Amino acid sequence: MNLLDIKLDRSFDVFDSDRKGQLQRSDVLAVSDRLAESLGVAPDSVAGLRDSLGGLWDTVFHTMDRNGDGAVDRQEHRAAFRARIVSDQNRIWDRIRNLSNAWTALGDRDGDGMLSRDEYTSLLHGMFRLPRQTFDEAFSALDRDGDGQLSRDEISVAMKEYYTSQDHAARGNQFFGRL
C-alpha cells in the first residue's frame, strides 16, 4: 500500500464515526456533534461547521458513492479522492478551506485567529475522538514557523499535503497523527 492510500484510509477512519466501514452523511455530520459535546455547547453553536461538513458531503463525499447505496466504502473513498484531487483541485480545496476555517474559528478560544497547541489538541480530540497525544505530536510537526501557534495557512498547507503528498517527510502527513 502506498503512502497516499495509508493517509486516505486514516482519513476514512476518522470520519467513520459509527465504525461500520462505510461513510454516510450522518457520519460526516457527527463530527460537529462530537465537537459541540466536547466543548460543552449546544449543537447550534457549531452550525457553521455542520453546514461546511454538509457541503463537503454534498459536493465531495456523496459523489464518491459509485454503487448508489447511499454510503461510501473505503475503496470508493480512495478511488474518488484520488480522481477528484487530480480533476477538481480548486473546488475541493475551497471546500476543505471552508471546513478548516469553520473549525478553526470554533477552536480559537482566545480569538487571535490562530490555534495554540491546547486549542488544536482539544479541537481535534473533540471532533475525532483520537487520543490527545496524537494531536499534540501532530501540532509539533505542523507548526512550521515554530511560533507555538497554527495559522490558517499552516493548517491549509498541512491539509493539502495530507491529501496529496507522496513525500514521506511532508509535515502535513501528521495531520491526523503519526502514520
The three-class DSSP label of residue 92 is helix
Alpha helices per DSSP H over 108-131: 117-128
Asked if the structure places residue 147 within a domain, the reply is: yes
Residue-wise pLDDT tens digits, 116-160: 999 999 888 888 888 888 888 899 999 999 999 999 889 888 888
Backbone angles phi, psi at 145, to 5 degrees: -95, 0
The three-class DSSP label of residue 178 is coil
Residue-wise pLDDT tens digits, 8-21: 999 899 889 888 99
pLDDT at 35: 80
Asked if the structure places residue 178 within a domain, the reply is: no
> Looking at the predicted structure, is the pLDDT value of residue 85 above 70?
no
Asked if the structure places residue 179 within a domain, the reply is: no
**Under 8 Å between Cβ of 35 and 131:** no
pLDDT at 71: 93
Asked if the structure places residue 111 within a domain, the reply is: yes
Asked if the structure places residue 177 within a domain, the reply is: no
Asked if the structure places residue 113 within a domain, the reply is: yes
Total residue count of the chain as it appears in this document: 179
pLDDT at 119: 93
Domain of 70 in residue numbering reads as 3-172
Backbone angles phi, psi at 70, to 5 degrees: 85, 5
Asked if the structure places residue 99 within a domain, the reply is: yes
Q: What is the CATH number of the domain that holds 149?
A: 1.10.238.10
Asked if the structure places residue 69 within a domain, the reply is: yes
Total domains, the chain: 1
Q: Which residues pair with 115 in a beta bridge?
A: 150
